[in-house]
Each structure stands twice: as structure tokens, then as C-alpha cells.
């Protein structure tokens, strides 16, 4: 089958297809929608992308991304400086914020330890986390890392490094989700829930 559009449109489709969740077919639909809605959608999107390119930066304190440095979360006076929530990625930070799950501050590692992928401690912001944990106002480090082998390996590694810091190290509970039915849960989740049972 020959090309149905010029190289400029094909380039747009190819770039959109690189976004997570968009395959070639979805990218084609998105490109067509953008082109049809040039005034209402494509022009504002182009402007927003340019602003993001020019102004978005990584927060030097926590690793969040924002248009200011330190970021909005770090300078929020309502945040509790005694709590640092450690996440692997900015997406995890955003998820916790959407859930309004904490009023603490954050620390973004950038990834989790993964020897198979060549990700070691030097590739993460662990040294900066250890330094922050030694600050007098910090009393708790919450390890909000994925319940995967890499996430748990990272959690254990960080816990060992924080032994001489005067902080409580906690992690997210693992187990039965709110609204979950036992029959639909996998064996790993069920066994974790049984091990981490609490008083009723």
C-alpha cells in the first residue's frame, strides 16, 4: 500500500506513535484529529509543548518536574517537612498526589535498582536521599516503591543505608485492595496480605 499522506503528516504520526499507549493506528487517529482541529487543538498544543520545552525543569531538591525550581510541592508551606515519601518516578508522585495520599514531601529516585537493565545505585538519587534523611526536621522516610522484585530490592538497599539516620523507615502496605474480592486476587497478593495482617 502506498503513502496516503505527505512526509510531514507521516512524521507527525511516527512521533505520536512513540508516546506510551499509542500504537500506529491510534497515532494515525490522533494525528487526523489534531489536523482537523487545528485552531482549537493543534495550535494550543504546539504552544504548550514549546512552553514545556523552554520552562520545565527537574527540581533540585526532590526530582519532581515543574516550571519552577524548587518545585511547587517543595515550597508548599502546608507540607510536613518531617516526612519524605520516596518514589521511583515522577508518575508515582503524581499518582499519590491525585489520591491526596500524603501531606509529606517527596524524593524521586529516577528508577529502581535493576542489575539486569544495568541500573545501579549510582544511576539513582540515593545519595541525595540519604543526605536529606539526616536533616534534623526529618523523622520518617516512607518507601512508596512498586511491589516488584526491583522495587523491593531498592527498598532494602535504601533501608540499610538509612540505619544511622535518626528516622523511622516505613513502606506502603501490600495486600488486598479496597473493594477487592479474594477470589480475583493472585497468590502473591494474598500471601502478602496474610503476612501483613493487622489487628481488627
Is there a domain that residue 31 lies in?
no
| Residue 134: per-residue pLDDT | 96
Contact status, residue 85 vs residue 102, Cβ threshold 8 Å: yes
- In a 10 Å sphere around its CB, with 0-12 CB exposed, 13-18 middle and 19+ buried, how is residue 40 labelled? exposed
Name the pTM for this structure. Answer: 0.84
CA-based nearest residue to 89, from 67, 116, 62: 62
Ranking 79-83, 146-150, 192-196 by mean pLDDT, the lowest is 192-196
Check the CA dihedral 153-154-155-157 and report its sign. positive
Is there a domain that residue 34 lies in?
no
| Residue 65: per-residue pLDDT | 96
Contact status, residue 111 vs residue 86, Cβ threshold 8 Å: no
Is there a domain that residue 126 lies in?
yes
* Cis omega (within 30 of 0) for bond into 130: no
Contact status, residue 151 vs residue 88, Cβ threshold 8 Å: yes
Domain of residue 125: give its range. Answer: 65-171
Characterize the bridge pairing of strands 57-58 and 65-66: antiparallel
Is there a domain that residue 15 lies in?
no
- How much is the average pLDDT of 101-116? 94
Q: What is the CATH number of the domain that holds 98?
A: 3.40.1360.10
Check the CA dihedral 103-155-140-135 and report its sign. negative
pLDDT digit string (tens) for 159-181? 999 999 999 999 988 887 888 78
Other CB atoms within 10 A of residue 143 CB? 23
Characterize the bridge pairing of strands 140-143 and 168-171: parallel
- Number of structural domains found in the chain: 1
Q: Which grid cell is 190?
A: 494474598
Q: Which helix (H) or strand (E) holds 186?
A: none
Is there a domain that residue 189 lies in?
no
Is there a domain that residue 6 lies in?
no
Contact status, residue 85 vs residue 104, Cβ threshold 8 Å: yes
- In a 10 Å sphere around its CB, with 0-12 CB exposed, 13-18 middle and 19+ buried, how is residue 194 labelled? exposed
- How much is the average pLDDT of 25-42? 94
State CA 188 to chain mean position distance: 23
Query: Order of strands, edge to edge, in the sheet holding 140-143?
Result: 104-108, 80-87, 140-143, 168-171
Is there a domain that residue 57 lies in?
no
- How much is the average pLDDT of 112-133? 95
3 pLDDT tier (thresholds 50, 70, 90): low
Is there a domain that residue 191 lies in?
no
Amino acid at each position: 500500500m502506498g503513502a496516503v499522506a505527505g512526509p510531514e503528516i507521516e512524521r507527525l504520526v511516527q512521533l505520536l506513535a512513540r508516546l506510551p499507549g499509542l500504537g500506529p493506528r491510534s497515532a494515525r487517529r490522533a494525528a487526523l484529529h489534531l489536523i482537523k482541529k487545528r485552531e482549537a487543538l493543534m495550535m494550543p498544543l504546539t504552544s504548550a509543548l514549546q512552553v514545556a520545552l523552554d520552562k520545565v525543569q527537574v527540581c533540585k531538591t526532590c526530582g519532581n518536574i515543574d516550571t519552577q525550581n524548587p518545585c511547587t510541592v517543595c515550597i508548599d508551606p502546608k507540607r510536613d517537612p518531617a516526612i519524605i515519601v520516596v518514589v521511583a518516578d515522577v508518575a508515582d508522585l503524581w499518582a499519590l498526589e491525585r489520591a491526596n495520599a500524603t501531606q509529606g514531601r517527596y524524593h524521586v529516585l529516577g528508577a529502581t535498582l535493576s542489575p539486569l537493565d544495568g541500573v545501579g545505585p549510582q544511576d539513582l538519587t540515593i545519595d541525595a536521599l540519604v543526605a536529606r534523611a539526616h536533616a534534623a526536621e526529618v523523622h520518617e522516610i516512607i518507601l512508596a516503591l512498586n511491589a516488584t522484585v526491583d522495587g523491593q530490592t531498592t527498598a532494602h538497599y535504601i533501608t540499610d543505608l538509612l540505619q544511622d539516620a535518626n528516622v523511622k523507615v516505613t513502606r506502603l502496605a501490600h495486600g488486598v485492595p479496597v473493594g477487592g474480592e479474594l477470589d480475583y486476587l493472585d497468590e502473591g497478593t494474598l500471601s502478602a496480605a496474610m503476612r501483613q495482617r493487622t489487628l481488627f
